[in-house]
Copies of this chain bind each other. A is one copy, B any other.
Amino acid sequence: MKFKITPIDGGVCAIDGIYADGVNAGFKKEGFDLGFIRSDREMDVVYTFTTNKFQAAPIKYVLQKNITKTNFILANSKNANALTAEKGIKDIEEILQFLAEKIEIKNPIMSSTGVIGVRLDKEKIKAGIEKFDFFERNSDKFAKSIMTTDSFKKEIAFEVEGEFGKFKIAGVAKGAGMINPAMATMLCFIVTDADILREEMDFLLKENLEESFNAISVDGDTSTNDSVFLMSTKTAGYEKEAFKEALKKVMLRLALDIVKDGEGANKLVAFVVKGAKNKKEAKIAAKNLTNSLLVKTAIFGEDPNWGRIASTIGASGIECDEKKLKISFENVTVYDKGEIFFDEKTEKKAHEIMKKDEFKIYIDLGIGNGEFTAYGCDLSYDYVKINAEYRT
């Protein structure tokens, strides 16, 4: 083995020179709702944002400024600062100017999540900033400050060691609803001290996106604020393969945490599609399965209603043939090339598999070599409850 990846504690603050805090600025009744991650030196930063045409003001701000280096991330929950036009951007500028009076910042970035279409309450945010301890190193508080309907905080950190020396990489994310695919679909901040070129960071971030954040869906909606940031202090070692592998681990872990925490969700299901005409078609099939209400409710009911799976694939528009299709709940095949193997016995076995918190459904289209795995969850009464009552 050329390198070793070991989980470590401390979240993003496991990395030297990284500070983080979270405070209550009065958006949430209790708990943190405003936080920061900052570095004692400038970091290279790359990012990828939502494909939603109504990108939120914080995203527009970063793109307009074309930020490539930063030492400060300010993040808030409960308000997305989206659909707020120029005023939304001006609000960010005013807030960051206020922040600059408190601490030395270079090209600061603001990131928001919450309700769309409401102006930020700048005074509350300023009052929150007053409460920051800029020398706090508490990743946990930051992780909590960006949570909205999330039921648990999402963070992970690894140390990677090899002949090249060592580096650390850590990530924190939020997201539980409005989660779909066309990009990240949540907020995610990844920090490393690896001595990696900015261009390489950018390439690897996008390469990993497809099979992590873009492979998950809670509800098929793509938010205005989805953002993934990758930052590096460049103070430690670097080796491409090791970094690639560690970054993948961080991103997939945070992505799966988001699905597991899907609003009202109880089950994490991997739809493993293979045998598609090509990867693109495999992805369409897998993603459609994660988004089908009929499939999601069947998962909630622990009902191995494979007909809904087949129907969803048939409706997805990809090349498929019922004489080539195969569907299995883990090792229990219920349909294979035109033959139905769904009887009392297989139904019972498949039902047992569906009782688990996490399981896989295999779909082989039997046509080509395209493969893709997408991750979804069930649709429960609680999803409806959470989303019907979100603003009330």
Q: Which A residues fall within an 8 A CB radius of B?
A: 50-55, 80, 82-86, 115-119, 177-178, 180, 182, 219-224, 291-294, 297-298, 300-301, 303, 305-308, 310-315, 317-323, 334-335, 338-340, 342, 379-381, 383-385, 387-392
Collect the chain B residues with CB atoms within 8 Å of residue A301's CB: 387-392
Taking a contact as CB atoms closer than 8 A, the residue among B115, B117, B321, B392 that contacts A335 in the complex is B117
Supplied contacts A53-B314, A53-B321, A301-B387, 20 more A-B pairs, CB within 8 Å: A51-B317, A54-B310, A54-B322, A82-B307, A82-B310, A83-B322, A84-B340, A117-B334, A117-B342, A118-B342, A178-B311, A220-B291, A220-B292, A221-B294, A223-B315, A293-B293, A300-B388, A301-B391, A305-B390, A381-B384
- Supply 5 A–B pairs (Cβ within 8 Å), ascending by A: A52-B314, A52-B315, A54-B322, A178-B294, A293-B383
Asked whether A311 lies within 8 Å of B388 as measured between CB atoms, the reply is no
- For residue A308, which residues in chain B have a CB less than 8 angstroms away from its CB? 116, 221
Complex partner residue of A391 from B300, B303, B310, CB under 8 angstroms? B303
Decide: B293 and A340 in contact? CB cutoff 8 A: no
CB distance from A55 to the nearest CB of B (A): 8
Q: Are A315's CB and B222's CB within 8 A?
A: yes
Contact A221 B340 (CB under 8 A): no
The DSSP consensus for interface residues of chain A is loop
- Determine the chain B residues whose CB is within 8 A of the CB of A380 once the complex forms: 384
Among B50, B84, B320, B338, the residue within 8 A (CB) of A53 is: B320
Is there an interface contact between B83 and A310, defined as CB atoms closer than 8 Å? yes
What is the CA–CA distance of A293 and B220 in the complex, to the nearest angstrom?
8
Chain B min CB distance to A79 (Å): 10
Is B303 within 8 A of A392, CB to CB? yes
- Name the residue on B nearest A312 (C-beta): B221
**B-side contacts of A293, CB under 8 Å:** 219-221, 293, 379, 383, 387
Question: Are the CB atoms of A311 and B387 closer together than 8 Å?
Answer: no
Given known contacts A83-B340, A323-B85, is B53 in contact with A387 (CB within 8 Å)?
A: no
- Check A294/B117 contact, CB under 8 A, given A311-B54, A320-B54: no
Residues of chain B with a CB closer than 8 A to A384's CB: 297, 300, 379-381, 383-384
Q: What residues on B are CB-neighbors of A342 within 8 Å?
A: 117-118
Chain B proximity of A308: nearest CB distance (Å) = 7
Known A117-B340, A313-B54, A315-B52: A221·B385 in contact at CB below 8 Å: no
- Expressed in whole angstroms, the Cα–Cα distance for A298 and B385 within the complex equals 10
Chain B: CB-nearest residue to A53:
B314
User: CA A119 – CA B119 in complex, angstroms?
Assistant: 57
CB-CB under 8 A from A298, the residues of chain B are 387-388, 390
Most B CB contacts (10 A, CB to CB) among A119, A303, A307 go to A307
A82 to B312, CA, bound (A): 13
CA distance A5 to B269 in the complex (A): 53
Which of chain B's residues have a CB closer than 8 A to the CB of A54? 310-311, 313-314, 320, 322
A301 to B301, CA, bound (A): 23
Alpha-carbon separation in the docked complex, A219 to B379 (Å)? 12
Contacts of A219 in B (CB 8 A): 293-294
Q: Which residue of B lies closest to A83 (CB)?
A: B310
Contact partners of A310 in chain B: CB under 8 A: 54, 82-83, 116-117, 224
For the complex, give the distance between the alpha carbons of A221 and B379 in Å: 15
CA distance A375 to B390 in the complex (A): 24
Residues of B within 8 A of A322 (CB): 54, 83, 85
Contacts of A318 in B (CB 8 A): 53
| Shortest distance between the CB of A187 and any CB in chain B (Å) | 15
Given contacts A117-B340, A119-B340, A297-B388, contact A307 B53 (CB under 8 A): no
